[in-house]
Amino acid sequence: MTDLGRVLVLAGGLSAEREVSLQSGARLRDALVRAGVDVHLRDVDAGLLGGLAAEPPAVVWPVLHGVSGEDGTLQEVLEMFGVPYVGGVPAGCRAAFDKPTAKALLASAGVRTPASVCLPRDAFADLGAGALVERIVARLGLPLVVKPRAGGSAMGVSVVRDAADLPAALMAATGYHDWILVEQAITGDEITVGVVDLDGAPVALPAVGIAPHGGAYDYAARYTAGGATFTTPADLAPAVSDVAGQVALTAHRLLGLRDLSRTDMIVDGDGVVWYLETNVAPGQTATSTWLRTRRPDRRDRARLRRPRHRHVHAE
């Protein structure tokens, strides 16, 4: 056993991503057990606060995705209990979880993020859906990506190529949030970059390139073994790779995050890096991109000098 004390991994919760979180939690627990840590895995339910008060763990590691786990709720509660925890503080989680807020912050720092419109569901009912839909298409063009204002695992996300499909996409997104974010779709290669605080300084991990086999990086592509091909480090020109690392570090710092985060981006045909969003509790499932990211070691440096290594993961 290490002398870290008891680590409490929190997984599950009640968000739409419960199943993903349970898988993440089990894998994290197994990894900590292998590292000799005294670890307990627990769901979030009405007994949690009593347990924290009666038997405070040395540290809590939340791997809860979506609402209450990533939006700062749990972190606020842990602050009140004075229990140390891994990951972002409440204000940082709130800023990152709310996609329009995160996009606005990054844009103010000169980072490119797709042009967008964010409106509540009620606006479409109150002001007339037809006129708003028409104006959105006139303003942003096509194709568009429609998504819930906050959420994860691509739930409620649709690509709209034909204006006639926009109302249905808006409806699908309102199943996950009362507010809808409509973005210009960026055509290009999807990448994600993890950031870890090491000795107090954030370090960007190598970019992971994501090539979904079905065309879209949707729920099935994310959590089905073999649903996507991941390439680490991503096949990027060195200058683009540097920008991607800088964008992930800027997001980590500007949003006020701590310990770890993972920023999703798209690189277009001109090598421009577009910011999509930052995750404060990156998935740790067998197919999660976080597990493809690590600090570059000697093997990576050798690989960078050789033709790219690709793998379809199938754990």
Size of the site for ligand ADP (CB under 6 A): 17
Which entry of Mg ion, ligand ADP, none binds 233, CB below 5 to 8 A by partner kind? none
- Does 157 engage in binding with ligand ADP (CB under 6 A)? yes
Angle at 201 between CA 35 and CA 78, to 5 degrees: 65
* CA–CA gap between residue 152 and residue 16 (Å, rounded): 9
Q: Please identify, using beta-carbon distances, which residue of 42 and 292 lies nearer to Mg ion.
A: 292
| Integer Cα distance of 119 and 107 in angstroms | 19
Window of 26-34, 143-151, 234-242, 296-304 that interacts with ligand ADP by CB under 6 A? 143-151
Task: Between 29 and 65, name the residue whose CB sits nearer to ligand ADP.
Answer: 65
Dihedral (CA of 238, 244, 246, 248) sign: negative
Among 12, 255, 277, 281, binds ligand ADP (CB under 6 A): 277
**Is 152 among the residues that bind ligand ADP (CB under 6 A)?**
yes
Q: Which does 145 bind (CB under 5 to 8 A by kind): ligand ADP, Mg ion, none?
A: ligand ADP
Tracing tokens 């920023």 back to the chain, one arrives at 263
**Among ligand ADP, Mg ion, none, what does residue 7 contact (CB within 5–8 Å per kind)?**
none
Contact between 71 and ligand ADP per CB under 6 A: no
Asked if 186 interacts with ligand ADP (CB under 6 A), we say yes
Nearer to ligand ADP, 186 or 248 (CB): 186
Are 264 and 217 contacting, i.e. CB atoms less than 8 angstroms apart? Answer: no
| Per CB under 6 A, 190 contacts ligand ADP | yes
CB-nearer residue toward ligand ADP: 32 or 93? 93
Q: Tell me if 233 sits within 8 A of 304, measured CB to CB.
A: yes
| 73/113 with CB nearer ligand ADP | 113
Going from the C-alpha of 171 to that of each of 165, 218, 311, the distances in angstroms are 10, 17, 37
Q: At what angle do helices 238-254 and 99-108 cross, to 10 degrees?
A: 120
Residue 28's CB is within 10 A of a number of other CB atoms, namely: 20
Q: What angle do CA 238, 243, 249 make, to 5 degrees?
A: 125
Among 151, 202, 206, 245, binds ligand ADP (CB under 6 A): 151
CB of 61 closer than 8 Å to CB of 8: yes
Point out the residue whose Cβ comes nearest to Mg ion. 264
Give the type of residue at 289: T
Q: Contact residues for ligand ADP (CB under 6 A)?
A: 114, 145, 147, 151-154, 157, 183, 185-186, 190, 217, 264, 266, 276-277
